[in-house]
């Protein structure tokens, strides 16, 4: 048996121990590879998409690498720790430390080699599927599979260096110990749980402050607040696991009336040991799960955003033209042509808007013809209106207008043409983009509309007119390539201000929506994949921990069984030990993400009037179900082992 064979057998014959670890690292390679495939994709020409693809993937990869490095390092040192007795024996038999390091290096590299090969293999197999998902998200025409050396080289290079770094740094851990220490193993459970009361209280305090700031933000939103809250929550979470939990358990353990009670004695004592041993892991799992909950929540809420976005922007392509717009015909022609080129059927409804001064408001109002509104309403399946002569309805400009506008009947006179009208209420939908209309808009009956003949005070007759072109396209999500030039002019000249210096206004909700949607979906998709890797890693760690502690636990349960603990009671004890390990990080992550959602909600309202409470609840429930089934799976294996 050569030295290489020895190392190889060490890995292969311990496959059961390494299984979960390998699974997690293979998955990590897989995801990384798939990201690289997208990053180097040759046929993404769209500049914007390219930026998103490259930037998004790059960030995701960096996060992935950092967490993978952390996970690998943590697992490897735990593996070596668990095998310390074996190393002690080898050193005792005369292996020198250089050989030991070489053995560890070889073993790690074998694991790395397996992970990288299998990961890339599956990564390449899944790329097509991944591209299909991306294509759907960005509504691209095609995103073919390609073969290039770049993604392969990047993945192999990154992970090979990762494994080399790990194998060198983790063997340092063994190098420092002498044989006798190794042979005795690391009696980790024999350490006193140390915690400082100050840090414990600080941890709880920081969490409390972070949560209060979230509540406070609901009333007064400050963007910089989010950074403070995140920082506080992270530090607070860390201290919570290293000190606060132990401190709280310590308080309970001092009260014998509470503590000296059937299974609590064992459960609390064992619980505090497990928490102390795994505090850092719990911390990572909490943060990771919070991010996972959040990203899923945000994207789930996107479905409700779609509906509301549509409600706010019912017209698929909108073009409005002032009297002094020289491009009117040219632009409208262009839009129609582009729609035809995309193979989209559309319906064009033209609104001739007249302007008058309202005696009530002492300001200009836009007058829109009832029949024109109705023809659009038919297309959009909106409620139709029926106005008598002398009646009018307010057309709200934004969603918020519904709250601001009085709904009682109101008398007013269109001063220039001296037409008295009675306002009969508010139309129940928003129709035109709010930026296109600056003043209040009234829908008036066709009869009254014809009577409006006088121009605005101090203006000519032509100047009192505006034209709106509403293109109704039933497949509104596919209009993203229509009017891109006009859209560019709008963004360049307006930026983020609400003042429109042009004589026309153009809005294509399909285009805006596709950008928002693509960005969000990508965020979710990459976030989900990273979260999946991390959750798998955390799961593999719990599995590994249980596996290495199994011998000790078995012995302990044997003692308990001899002392007369029934099988059912044993399950209860196991429950009380496993539940905190599974649900403490998860529970804190739940609380964290609930507050994060609340903060996001406060944020969101400004962005768009979307309520994400329902989606949030669904996400949290889904995660709960996953976590519970995971718990039962592990418990089942664990109990099978100890019995």
Partner 1 sequence: MSILKLKEITKVYEGKVAHLAINQLSFEVEKGEFLAVMGPSGSGKTTLLNLISTIDQPTSGDLTINDLNPLQLKSNDLSLFRRRQLGFVFQDFNLLPALTVEENMVLPLTLDDQPVSIMKQKVNKVAEQLGLSSILEKRPFEISGGQAQRTAIGRALIHEPSIILADEPTGNLDSKAAKDVLELLSKVNQKSNTTIIMVTHDPIAASFCDRVLFIKDGEYFNEIYKDDRRQTFFQRILNVLSLLGGNVNDLSTIRLS
**262, 340, 407, 643: which one contacts partner 1 (CB under 8 A)?**
262
- The CA distance from 307 to 326, in Å, is 36
Min dist CB 248 to partner 1, Å, is: 16
Choose between 438 and 561: whose C-beta lies nearer to partner 1.
Answer: 561
> Dihedral of CA 577/583/589/594: which sign?
negative
Determine contact, residues 446/371, Cβ cutoff 8 Å.
yes
Q: Return d(Cα 120, Cα 127) in angstroms, integer.
A: 10
Q: How many residues bind partner 1 (CB under 8 A)?
A: 29
Among 304, 434, 521, 556, binds partner 1 (CB under 8 A): 556
Residue 48 binds partner 1 (CB under 8 A): no
Query: Is the CB of 199 or the CB of 561 nearer to partner 1?
Result: 561
Contact map string, positions 140 to 179, toward partner 1, x by CB under 8 A: ----------------------------------------
DSSP per residue over 443-494, as a string?
EE-HHHHHH--SPPTTS-TGGGEEEEEEEEESSGGGGGGTTHHHHHHHHHHH
Nearer to partner 1, 59 or 265 (CB): 265
> Closest CB to partner 1 among 475 and 567?
567
Half-sphere exposure at residue 307, Cβ-oriented, CA atoms within 13 angstroms: 7
**Closer residue to partner 1, CB minimum distance, 142 or 257:** 257
Question: Minimal CA–CA distance to 429: which of 393, 471, 465, 472?
Answer: 393
Figure out which of the listed residues 63, 266, 312, 456 binds partner 1, where binding follows CB under 8 A.
Answer: 266
| Closest CA relative to residue 241, chosen from 502, 588, 604 | 588
Q: Which of 190, 220, 497, 498 binds partner 1 (CB under 8 A)?
A: 190
Shortest spacing between CB 249 and partner 1, in angstroms: 11
Region from 38-46, 114-122, 258-266, 472-480 binding partner 1, contact rule CB under 8 A: 258-266
Segment lying near partner 1 (by CB under 8 A), choices 188-196, 404-412, 517-525, 619-627: 188-196
Residue among 16, 362, 381, 562 that touches partner 1 (CB under 8 A): 562
Q: Quote the least distance from Cβ 276 to partner 1, whole Å.
A: 10
Q: DSSP class of residue 242? A: I
Determine, following the binding rule CB under 8 A, whether residue 272 of this chain makes contact with partner 1. yes
CB of 638 to partner 1, least distance (A): 18
Among residues 203, 195, 483, 157, the alpha carbon closest in space to that of 315 is found at 483
184 near partner 1, rule: CB under 8 A: no
CA–CA dist 361, 356 (Å, integer): 11
Considering only the stretches 101-109, 500-508, 551-559, 625-633, report the one whose residues sit in contact with partner 1 under the rule CB under 8 A. Answer: 551-559
Instruction: Mark the segment that binds partner 1 (CB under 8 A) among 40-48, 261-269, 486-494, 610-618.
Output: 261-269
For the segment 191-220, give every residue that binds partner 1 (CB under 8 A). Answer: 192
What part of residues 218-257 is at the interface with partner 1 (CB under 8 A)?
256-257
Exactly one of 184, 222, 261, 280 binds partner 1 (CB under 8 A); which one? Answer: 261
Instruction: Specify the 3-state DSSP secondary structure of 192.
Output: coil
Tell me the sheet residues that pair with 472.
347
For residue 22, give both structure tokens.
């390998």
Q: Decide: is 622 part of the binding site for partner 1 (CB under 8 A).
A: no
Question: Which of 13, 176, 362, 568: binder of partner 1 (CB under 8 A)?
Answer: 568
Measured between alpha carbons, how far is 143 from 147 in angstroms, rounded to an integer?
13
Smallest distance from partner 1 to CB 179, Å: 22
Binding flag, residue 564, partner 1 (CB under 8 A) = yes
Which CB sits closer to partner 1, 429 or 572?
Answer: 572
189 contributes a contact to partner 1 by CB under 8 A: yes
Q: Which residues are paired to 317 by β-bridges? A: 471
Applying CB under 8 A, the span of 159-167, 259-267, 325-333, 359-367 interacting with partner 1 comes to 259-267
Burial of 157 (0-12, 13-18, 19+ CB in 10 A): exposed
Out of 102, 561, 572, 576, which residue is the one contacting partner 1 (CB under 8 A)?
561
Nearest distance, CB of residue 549 and partner 1, angstroms: 12
Q: Is 559 near partner 1 (CB under 8 A)?
A: yes
553 scored as a contact of partner 1 (CB under 8 A): no
- We find the least distance from the C-beta atom of residue 558 to partner 1, in angstroms, to be 8
Least distance from partner 1 to the Cβ atom of residue 256, Å: 5
Nearest to 275 by CA among 542, 536, 540: 542
Query: Toward partner 1, which CB reaches closer, 579 or 591?
Result: 579
Q: Which of 302, 297, 286, 298 has its CA nearest to residue 619?
A: 297
Site for partner 1, residues 389 to 448, rule: CB under 8 A? none
**Stretch 464-503 residues interacting with partner 1 (CB under 8 A):** none
Closest CA to 366 of 388, 397, 335: 397
Helix (H) or strand (E) holding 145: none
The SS3 of residue 392 is: strand
CB distance 115 to 22 below 8 Å: yes
- The alpha helices in 220-347, defined as continuous H runs, are 223-239, 245-254, 256-259, 264-312, 328-341
Among 15, 93, 499, 563, binds partner 1 (CB under 8 A): 563
Does 551 help bind partner 1 (rule: CB under 8 A)? no
Selected range binding partner 1 among 66-74, 320-328, 379-387, 562-570, rule: CB under 8 A? 562-570
User: Given the complex with partner 1, which of 260 and 457 has the nearer CB atom?
Assistant: 260
Beta strand extents in 12-56 (DSSP E only): none
One-character DSSP codes across 342-387: TT--EEEEEEEEEEEEETTTTEEEEEEEHHHHHHHHHHHTPPP---
Q: Please list, residue by residue across 317-349, b when 16 or more beta carbons sit within 10 angstroms of its beta carbon and e when fewer do.
A: bbbbbebebeebeebbebbbebbeeeebebeeb
Alpha-carbon distance of 293 to 626, in angstroms, equals 12
Footprint of partner 1 (CB under 8 A): 187, 189-190, 192, 256-257, 260-266, 269-270, 272-273, 555-556, 559, 561-569
């Amino acid at each position: 048996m050569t030295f290489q064979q020895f190392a190889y057998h060490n890995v292969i014959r311990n496959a059961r121990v390494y299984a979960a670890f390998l699974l997690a690292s293979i998955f990590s390679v897989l995801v990384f590879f798939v990201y690289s495939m997208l990053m180097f994709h040759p046929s993404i020409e769209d500049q914007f998409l390219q930026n998103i693809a490259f930037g998004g993937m790059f960030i995701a990869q960096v996060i992935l690498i950092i967490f993978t490095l952390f996970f690998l390092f943590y697992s490897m040192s735990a593996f070596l720790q668990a095998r310390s007795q074996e190393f002690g024996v080898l050193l005792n038999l005369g292996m020198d430390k250089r050989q030991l390091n070489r053995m560890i290096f070889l073993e790690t590299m074998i694991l790395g080699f397996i992970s990288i090969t299998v990961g890339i293999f599956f990564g390449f197999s899944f790329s097509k599927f991944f591209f299909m998902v991306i294509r759907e998200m960005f509504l691209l025409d095609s995103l073919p599979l390609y073969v290039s050396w770049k993604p392969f080289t990047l993945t192999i290079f990154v992970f090979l260096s990762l494994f080399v770094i790990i194998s060198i740094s983790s063997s340092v851990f063994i190098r420092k110990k002498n044989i006798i220490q190794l042979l005795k193993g690391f009696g980790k459970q024999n350490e006193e749980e140390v915690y400082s009361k100050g840090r414990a209280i600080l941890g709880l305090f920081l969490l409390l402050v972070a949560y209060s700031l979230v509540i406070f933000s609901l009333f007064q939103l400050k963007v910089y607040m989010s950074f403070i809250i995140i920082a506080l929550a992270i530090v607070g979470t860390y201290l919570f696991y290293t000190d606060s939990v132990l401190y709280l358990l310590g308080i309970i353990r001092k009260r014998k009336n509470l503590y000296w009670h059937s299974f609590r004695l064992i459960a609390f004592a064992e619980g505090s040991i497990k928490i102390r041993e795994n505090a850092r892991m719990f911390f990572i799992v909490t943060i990771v799960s919070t991010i996972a909950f959040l990203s899923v929540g945000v994207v789930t809420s996107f479905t409700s955003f779609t509906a509301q976005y549509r409600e706010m922007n019912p017209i698929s392509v909108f073009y409005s033209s002032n009297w002094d717009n020289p491009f009117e015909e040219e632009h409208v022609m262009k839009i129609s042509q582009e729609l035809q080129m995309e193979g989209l059927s559309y319906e064009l409804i033209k609104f001739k808007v007249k302007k008058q001064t309202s005696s009530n408001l002492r300001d200009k109002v836009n007058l829109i013809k009832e029949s024109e509104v109705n023809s659009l309403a038919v297309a959009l399946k909106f409620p139709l209106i029926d106005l008598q002569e002398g009646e009018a309805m307010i057309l709200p400009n934004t969603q918020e207008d519904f709250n601001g506008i009085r709904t009682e009947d109101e008398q007013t006179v269109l001063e220039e043409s001296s037409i008295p009208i009675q306002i009969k209420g508010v139309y129940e939908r928003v129709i035109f983009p709010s930026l296109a209309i600056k003043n209040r808009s009234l829908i008036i009956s066709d009869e009254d509309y014809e009577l409006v003949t006088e121009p605005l005070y101090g203006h000519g007759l032509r100047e009192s007119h505006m034209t709106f072109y509403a293109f109704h396209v039933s497949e509104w999500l596919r209009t993203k390539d229509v009017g891109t030039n006009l859209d560019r002019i709008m963004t360049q000249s307006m930026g983020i201000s609400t003042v429109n210096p042009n004589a026309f206004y153009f809005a294509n909700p399909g285009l805006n929506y596709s950008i928002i949607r693509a960005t969000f979906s990508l965020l979710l998709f990459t976030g989900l994949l990273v979260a999946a890797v991390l959750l798998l890693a955390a799961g593999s760690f719990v599995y590994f921990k249980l596996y290495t502690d199994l011998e000790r636990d078995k012995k302990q349960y044997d003692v308990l069984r001899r002392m007369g603990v029934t099988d059912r009671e044993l399950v209860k004890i196991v429950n009380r030990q496993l539940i905190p390990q599974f649900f403490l990080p998860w529970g804190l992550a739940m609380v964290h993400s609930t507050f994060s959602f609340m903060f996001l909600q406060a944020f969101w309202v400004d962005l768009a009037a979307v309520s994400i409470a329902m989606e949030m609840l669904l996400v949290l429930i889904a995660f709960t179900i996953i976590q519970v089934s995971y718990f039962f799976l592990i418990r089942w294996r664990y109990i099978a082992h100890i019995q």
